[in-house]
Each structure stands twice: as structure tokens, then as C-alpha cells.
């Protein structure tokens, strides 16, 4: 696991924010096609199937997976696709904690939380 200093995480935040915005858009597109995909899957069980925008659905799923993999490769943890919530592992007072950011919070990290408390346990940096 990569550990970030606050400065390193803040330097990556513009890039991470761009990726997270892309993830949120792709996730919303997948969500808008979810019922059609479910119906197509049910139809396939009965010998029919097919989805009018099946290739678009698969391409969107692929793009979503690629963007998530980009965050993962950077060492950033994606916690919520819709909210655009991400965490940066960080060493604080000799223990690993998470620097926390979500879309709409600005250009610098302002929050952290213990690994077991999640978003509800956020504290100011």
C-alpha cells in the first residue's frame, strides 16, 4: 500500500479529481442502462435476449473499469462512485489513517479519518 504525505496527496488531487469525475459520469451512464441490461440477461435465459445498446453498455463498463484501475494504480482508494469519494492512505502519529476527499470539496484535502470509521468519522486536518 502506498502511503501519501498530505503534500503528495494534494499534488495528485487535480488528476484524481479529473478521474473521479469521469468515473461518476460513466457510473451514471451504466446506471441508466442497468434495467435494459437486466432485461436482456433475463431474455437470454429464455433463449432470446440482446440489448439494443449492448455494445455501448459494454464500452461504458470497460471505460469505468479502466478509470477505477487508474486510481488504484496511483494508490488512491475509491470509496463511493456516485459521490466521488476517495481516500489516500497516510501515516499519522505512527498509524495508517485515510486522507479523505469527495467531489465538490475544493482543491486541497481538509479531512482524514481512521481506517475503521469511514466518512462518518472524518476529522479536520
Percent of the chain predicted with pLDDT > 90: 75
Grid coordinates in use for 5?
A: 504525505
Residue 49 included in any domain: yes
Question: What pLDDT, on the 0 to 100 scale, is given for residue 50?
Answer: 66
Question: What pLDDT, on the 0 to 100 scale, is given for residue 54?
Answer: 74
Domain count, the chain: 1
Task: Give pLDDT tens digits for 86-114.
Answer: 999 999 999 999 999 999 999 999 999 99
More confident call, 42 vs 65: 65
Residue 1 included in any domain: no
The backbone torsions φ and ψ at residue 82, rounded to the nearest 5 degrees and listed phi first, read -70, -45
DSSP at 105: S
The backbone torsions φ and ψ at residue 106, rounded to the nearest 5 degrees and listed phi first, read 110, -170
Instruction: Give the total residue count for the chain.
Output: 125
- What's the CA angle centered on 115, arms 83 and 16, to 5 degrees? 40
The reported pTM is: 0.86
Position 67 pLDDT exceeds 80: yes
Confidence class of residue 36 from pLDDT cuts 50, 70 and 90?
Answer: confident
Look up the domain containing 74 and give its range. 6-124
Amino acid at each position: 500500500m502506498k502511503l501519501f504525505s498530505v503534500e503528495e496527496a494534494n499534488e495528485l488531487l487535480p488528476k484524481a479529481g479529473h478521474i473521479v469525475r469521469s468515473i461518476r459520469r460513466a457510473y451514471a451512464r451504466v446506471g441508466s442502462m442497468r434495467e435494459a441490461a437486466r432485461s436482456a440477461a433475463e431474455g437470454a435465459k429464455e433463449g432470446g435476449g440482446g440489448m439494443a445498446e449492448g455494445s455501448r453498455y459494454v464500452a461504458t463498463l470497460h471505460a469505468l473499469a479502466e478509470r477505477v484501475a487508474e486510481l488504484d494504480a496511483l494508490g488512491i482508494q475509491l470509496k463511493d462512485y456516485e459521490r466521488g469519494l476517495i481516500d489516500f492512505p497516510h501515516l499519522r502519529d505512527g498509524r495508517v489513517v485515510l486522507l479523505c476527499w469527495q467531489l465538490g470539496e475544493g482543491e486541497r484535502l481538509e479531512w482524514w479519518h481512521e481506517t475503521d470509521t469511514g466518512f462518518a468519522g472524518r476529522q479536520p486536518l
